[in-house]
Amino acid sequence: MDPLEDWLEYMQPRLAGLVDFELPAGAVTLMDRSPAALARLEAELLARTAPGTDFLERVAGFLGESLLSAAGGSWTWDERRGLPVVTPDPELGLPPVCPAELVEEARLRRDGDEFGRGLRELERAVAEKQAAVPGWTPVKQPTPGLDEDPTATFDWPYLDAWLAERAAGLPAWLATYAERPELWDFSQGSLDELEAAARQRVAGPDELAAHHEFAEGASWYLGEVLRPAMRAQWCYVPGEPDGDNMFVGRPFLDQLIPDGTVAVPFLLIQVALADRGPGVLRHAYDRLT
């Protein structure tokens, strides 16, 4: 996969992992792009004497999304650096900003305001442009899984609410159903934890629907592991689930390309409950991606 595509496709799980597993509860939310959120994030960065590579990457992703929200533009790939960079709206005439380098600069300066300075510089440029061109506003290229894509199909209110509810409720869901929540990191390997949780709680495939809260959270988690790897989009067809059309009434993933792959996470979990062999969901991941 192209490195920029890989960076973008894993952005939502990357930031969800930061918010749900790396930061104190309530420190920031997935879509909080405020200066206060950046200040709290930088404080957490500086509090760690030896932050891991995954944490630094997640912080850079969150910082980059915050800068894009202020100045528009898009993620691009800097071949010289070998890193993703933020390229502000072309109308601003600004050079790209490398969030990973800002993260390292923050660790060197240790004054707690490196992220804030970067954000304010872009906000000043936007304000100057708006003073010169009244009514102008920066345009941000949508990031998969984080921003609403105006070209997307299947934009059902139920799906929007379902996705938001499941993302927000993940910590509570893990506290209820996961024996080792620290291993639920949206990786392929974490599917073994999901598989074990399903088999421990649900006797068989026909009983899954009766465990509504577990099934909904498990389906969302499985879908969020698969979605970036499949380069797919969540879709939903309204109606009551039945045996005639597996896509009705349950959120599913669709690559939205000719002959693209489609997956219904709820049904994949049912397959794992019916098979009972090891690694059923990991094998499904391999097959779908």
- Region 250-262 average pLDDT: 77
Residues whose CB falls within 8 Å of the CB of residue 24, separated by 6 or more in sequence, listed in order: 44
Q: DSSP code of 21?
A: I
pLDDT of residue 154: 44
pLDDT of residue 225: 94
Residue range 128-177, pLDDT digits in tens: 999 999 999 999 998 876 775 444 444 457 888 999 999 999 999 999 99
- Tell me: pLDDT of 50 over 70: yes
- Tell me: pLDDT of 86 over 90: yes
- Tell me: pLDDT of 236 over 80: yes
Structure tokens at 275: 């098979």
pLDDT of residue 257: 61
d(Cα 95, Cα 89) in Å, to the nearest integer? Answer: 10
pLDDT of residue 152: 43
d(Cα 243, Cα 247) in Å, to the nearest integer? Answer: 10
Q: What percent of the chain has pLDDT over 90?
A: 70
How confident is the prediction for the chain on average, in pLDDT?
Answer: 90
Model confidence at 259, pLDDT cuts 50, 70, 90, reads low
Query: pTM of the entire structure?
Result: 0.58
Q: DSSP code of 263?
A: E
Picking from 49, 103, 97, 56, the residue whose alpha carbon sits closest to that of residue 73 is 97
Residue range 94-128, pLDDT digits in tens: 999 999 999 999 999 999 999 999 999 999 999 99
pLDDT of residue 256: 62
pLDDT of residue 60: 98
